[in-house]
Structure 1
Amino acid sequence: MTTFPMGPALLFCPADRPERFEKAAQRADAVILDLEDAVAFEDKEQARENLAASALDPEKTIVRVNPVDSTSFRADLEALAAANYRWVMAAKAEDPGKIGHSLRHLSVVALVETALGVLRAPEIAREKNVAALMWGAEDLLASLGGESSRRSDGSYRPVAVHARSAVLLAAGGYGKGAIDSIYGNIADTAGLEEEARDGAASGFAAKACIHPGQVAAIRSVYAPSEEEKARARDLLEAAKGQGGVFSFRGEMIDGPLLRQAEQTLRRAGIPG
């Protein structure tokens, strides 16, 4: 898992609802103030004014702007500059060059949520100002002419699984953080926990969410259990003085397993 300075629970908040800004920031590890899909076109100017007038912690605030080729993009950047936020989420990221140039003075979370964006994910991750990649399921399926990213049982369709993996690999390959997509069924806490657990185990540094009630489930899954922490400590202690592969509690241990144990302790905020 590549580190990311925010998370594990990133909460979207519509920028046209300023009364929710502080509450969202207090409830989550970081807030994503949304100028894009969560705001109707006729409300975008007021949303920008709300953003410019806000004063959240810039180290825990990300602003999702409209795509770089949209008519709203330039105005979004002006509002962002007025608010003095330095983290931006680039919606529907597809063009590495435009992201690198248009947002060159900002730290970028590239939201990869179209077919072309997934295909170009490694090129996007390579850009110096890109700090993390996030993937989006429903816009991706829409870009393919599909109707839903999930089956009736809540599991992802194969094309969504592929995109999720592709974005994670692209981020990891270039040392950038990876953020898992939202879980839309707010009432299904068990499903959210299962998906977040898989994301944490796979290497996602954080997961986005759309409701404050989802924050606790994400945090609980990303925080290692006492048993997991104890095992990681014991394993790393047993590794001291070992020259190579060794046995630990009936399991053969090598370098990758030691790095996984170190990652478990990092997730818990404990030095390895």
Structure 2
Amino acid sequence: MTHPPFRFGPALLFCPADRPDRYAKALDRADAVILDLEDAVADDAKAAARAAIVGTPLDPERVIVRVNAASSPHFAADLAALAETPYTTVMLAKCEGTADLVDLVEVEVIALCETARGVLTSAEVAAIPNVSALMWGAEDLVASLGGSSSRHADGRYRDVATHARSQVLLAAGAHGIAAIDAVHLELDDSPGLRAEAEDAAALGFAATACVHPGQVHIVRAAYRPDAESLEWARAVIAAAAGEPGVFAFRGGMVDAPVLRQAEALVRRAGS
């Protein structure tokens, strides 16, 4: 099964769709912009937000439009507006199963698995051919469970959020598509964002979503391998060319999984 290649990342920046004055700046700052018709826009501003998306052209190769959930009364109008634009990548909010994608077969879909049902059906959603990525979200997930906080007082995710993050990543990986890590809402917590983005990159997430332009450079730096790791990766790949199988390299054993990890580091470096 062939899925659309994920061409965005590593730093994706949300921008309220009812603020067209911010569109170009957001796109200039990030690797891609997510024009948000859902949580960032009040109900009475959604019509104006849709009109702004139609009337404010951007590079379609670097734009994702987050539409309201398939169960929302705004969903049909979102899709009608989208049809008037050159944008072909949709982030579906609160995706809760394959039935939610019935009206999205003509576009590339990033499914946002941010409810209990959405996390549990993430593998089935990832199998749909026009789905290029899965993203998870902690706050809506906890709200769907009747909870009130996704994190401990020290900033660590609670266990259910960590489980959901892992499940969505595994579902994406099992079907050969990308996974996007959730936003970090504490804008003053740069060390926390850096640690989470570094962890995301190490685990295989393709990108991390941002809610403020000031987070973009932190995410980009976190996904960029350090010089020592990159040198090792290039060296071990070069050494493997002359080895028929498992071999020793700089005091460690290298096999196929280690080589794939080295190749991932080189890809993250963009070389």
**Superposed pair shares fold, TM > 0.5:** yes
Correspondence for 2:262? 261
The DSSP-based 3-state class of the residue aligned with 1:44 is: helix
- Aligned position for 1:160: 161
Do the aligned residues in 1 keep the contact of 2:97 with 2:122 (CA within 8 Å)? no
TM-score, with structure 1 as normaliser:
0.97
What's 1:217 paired with? 218
Whether the 8 Å contact between 1:54 and 1:83 is mirrored in structure 2 is no
Name stretches of at least 5 consecutive residues in structure 2 with no aligned partner.
none
For residues 253 and 97 of structure 2, the distance between their equivalents in structure 1, rounded to whole angstroms, comes to 45
Separation in 2 of the partners of 1:98 and 1:206?
24
Deviation at 1:97, TM superposition (A): 2.6
Partner of 2:35: 33
Is structure 2 residue 244 aligned with structure 1 residue 243?
Answer: yes
Which amino acid is the alignment partner of residue 60 of structure 2?
A: P
Conserved? CA contact 2:60–2:87, under 8 Å: yes
Return structure 1 stretches of 4+ with deviation > 2 angstroms.
none
CA shift digits 1:4-31 (9 cap, x unpaired): 2101000000001110000000000000
Cα separation, 1, equivalents of 2:100 and 2:118? 13
Tell me how many residue pairs correspond in the alignment.
Answer: 268
Question: Cα RMSD (Å) of the superposition?
Answer: 1.1
TM-score scaled by structure 2? 0.97
Distance 1:142 1:192 in 2: 22
Distance 2:168 2:94 in 1: 13
The correspondence of residues 35-54 of structure 1 with structure 2, limited to 5 A, is: 35-54=37-56
For structure 1, the residue ranges without an aligned partner over 5 or more in a row are: none
1:57-96 matches, within 5 Å, as 57-96=59-98
Residue deviations 1:108-144 (CA, integer Å, cap 9, x gap): 0000000001110000001111110000000000000
**Distance across 1 between alignment mates of 2:5 and 2:138:** 23
| Cα distance in 2 between the residues matched to 1:150 and 1:4 | 29
Residue correspondence of structure 1 range 96-135 to structure 2 within 5 A: 96-99=98-101, 101-135=102-136
Counterpart position of 2:6:
4
Query: Percent of pairs identical after alignment?
Result: 57
Contact 1:3 1:205 (8 Å CA) reproduced: no
**1 CA distance for matches of 2:141 and 2:163?**
11
